[in-house]
Amino acid sequence: MSLSESASVEADAAQLDAFLASFDDLTADGRDHSALEQRLERFLAGARAETSGRRVVMITSGGTTVPLEKNCVRSIDNFSSGTRGAWSCEEFLERHEGYDVLFLTRGGSAQPFVSDFQEVLFSEEREDPTYLHGCVDKVMRYCHGPRFLRVEFTTVFEYLHLMRMVSKHLRPLGSRVMVYLAAAVSDFYVPADRLPMNKIQSRDRVTGDLALEKTPKALGVMRHRWLPEAMMVSFKLETDESILIDKARAAARLYDVDVVVANLLHTRKDVVQLVVRGQDAPIVLERAGDRRLEGKLVATLVDRHERRFVVNERELS
Ligand code: PMT
């Protein structure tokens, strides 16, 4: 990294720290973070053991919110259902045993093995309970087992605060970590000093007060400061196909991530394009019939993670 790039990462990191500090009362969110850190340490102990060789994937999933009041009644939200993240968790847990899964999930969004549970439970057509029992069995087997840890967020501040904290614990695992950033993170927020303490009254005019600021990006800081050795997979969502790949390439270059998974809002369940660092043409992955796209997506990324180790070993020998 050049001197000016390194200075720019330092500036981004400082900006992110200042951003989180300005929302300290909201990021603390009443949770006992020291208890969470202890849970994290217990969860990572197996992978940390020197001879384990286990890998850890951190999957982020669902949309973040931006509060409009400190005592929040209203917030700005986004479309993300968390399905990509939940289904990807299932893939890692069921088909890639060498990975432990840390799932950072938006409260109330889709969860592994039960993403369609309510729909099926209340459907008039499907009365056979076998499917539902199967879902519960899988939750008990995988999500209540030692390979899975689930942590919830709601606001963009909680999300970025968790990312910074969790990264600190993952860092000693070096290149055995894969970061899989499928969450849809709010790009804009209302600064703390402009947030009213209490519920905005319906008689008030809010137009003048709703100017939004740009949320600091975490990707570059994560790549260069928090988890420099991890395999980083970020996602790029657009609604205009003509700019998708250029934007994904720009993100790959700017943040130096290993893979950018590019998708369009309305076809995100059917097709993704993988922009891989150092590779010209994107890899196109399409859903085959009823089979979820996440099967191919996760298998391709696991394969690239594996190849990274082979390359590193060659460089060392
Ligand atoms: O949840 P589903 O309904 O199943 O939909 C899945 C999905 C469309 C949400 C998912 O496939 C996806 O594309 N997620 C990323 C969407 C997004 O926020 O893209 P973006 O272009 O705004 O951000 C690009 C990357 O920057 C993301 O990996 C994000 O984690 C990261 N980011 C964003 C903002 C910020 N302040 N810091 C960041 O690091």
Distance from C-alpha of 235 to C-alpha of 109, rounded to nearest angstrom: 18
User: What does the angle CA 68 – CA 235 – CA 42 come to, to the nearest 5 degrees?
Assistant: 80
Pairing of strands 259-264, 271-276: antiparallel
Burial annotation 190-224 (CB, 10 A radius, 16+ → b, else e): bebeebeeeebeeeeeeeeeeeeeebbbbbbbbbb
Bridge partners (DSSP) listed for residue 288 = 291
User: What does the angle CA 216 – CA 60 – CA 154 come to, to the nearest 5 degrees?
Assistant: 70
Nearest CA to ligand 1 atom 36: 217
Nearest to 179 by CA among 101, 231, 102, 252: 231
**CB proximity list for 2: less than 8 A, separation 6 or greater:** none
pLDDT tens digits for range 195-252: 888 887 777 666 555 789 999 999 999 999 999 999 999 999 999 999 999 999 999 9
Residue 82: CB within 6 Å of ligand 1?
yes
Q: Which of 24-28, 45-49, 66-70, 234-238 has the highest mean pLDDT?
A: 234-238
Nearest to 183 by CA among 97, 261, 273: 261
Q: How far is the CA of 168 from the centre of ligand 1 (A)?
A: 22
If one residue of 15, 180, 237, 285 were mutated to test the ligand 1 pocket, choosing by the most ligand atoms within 8 A of its CB, it would be: 237
Residue 268: CB within 6 Å of ligand 1?
yes
- pLDDT for residue 4: 76
Residue 187: CB within 6 Å of ligand 1?
yes
The tokens 């909680």 sit on which residue? Answer: 158
Instruction: Quote the strand ranges of 209-278, DSSP E.
Output: 213-214, 231-238, 259-264, 271-276
CA 81 to chain centre: 13
Residue 81: CB within 6 Å of ligand 1?
yes
- pLDDT for residue 298: 98
**pTM, two decimal places:** 0.94
With 90 as the cut, is the pLDDT of residue 145 above it? yes
Residue 252: CB within 6 Å of ligand 1?
no
Distance from C-alpha of 252 to C-alpha of 249, rounded to nearest angstrom: 5
If one residue of 219, 235, 267 were mutated to test the ligand 1 pocket, choosing by the most ligand atoms within 8 A of its CB, it would be: 235
Residue 223: CB within 6 Å of ligand 1?
no
| Nearest atom of ligand 1 to the alpha carbon of 260 | 28
Amino acid (one-letter) located at 280: D
Distances, alpha carbon 236 to alpha carbons 79, 136, 165, 170, 268, in Å: 14, 32, 24, 24, 11
Nearest CA to ligand 1 atom 20: 236
| Nearest atom of ligand 1 to the alpha carbon of 272 | 11
Do residues 87 and 292 touch, judged by C-beta distance below 8 A? Answer: yes
- pLDDT for residue 33: 81
With 80 as the cut, is the pLDDT of residue 141 above it? yes
Length of the chain in terms of residues written: 317
Do residues 63 and 237 touch, judged by C-beta distance below 8 A? Answer: no
Mean pLDDT, residues 171-186 taken together: 97
| Nearest atom of ligand 1 to the alpha carbon of 163 | 39
Nearest to 140 by CA among 74, 87, 93, 77: 93
Nearest CA to ligand 1 atom 10: 182
Amino acid (one-letter) located at 275: V
Q: How far is the CA of 297 from the centre of ligand 1 (A)?
A: 16
Distance from C-alpha of 210 to C-alpha of 161, rounded to nearest angstrom: 24
pLDDT tens digits for range 262-290: 999 999 999 999 999 989 899 999 999 99
Residue 58: CB within 6 Å of ligand 1?
no
Per-residue pLDDT band for 309 (boundaries 50, 70, 90) equals confident
Nearest to 248 by CA among 220, 276, 278: 276
Nearest CA to ligand 1 atom 11: 182
Rg for the chain, CA atoms, rounded: 20
Residue 184: CB within 6 Å of ligand 1?
yes
- pLDDT for residue 30: 56
First to last CA, the chain: 24
Residue 295: CB within 6 Å of ligand 1?
no
Q: Which of 46-50, 286-290, 306-310 has the highest mean pLDDT?
A: 286-290
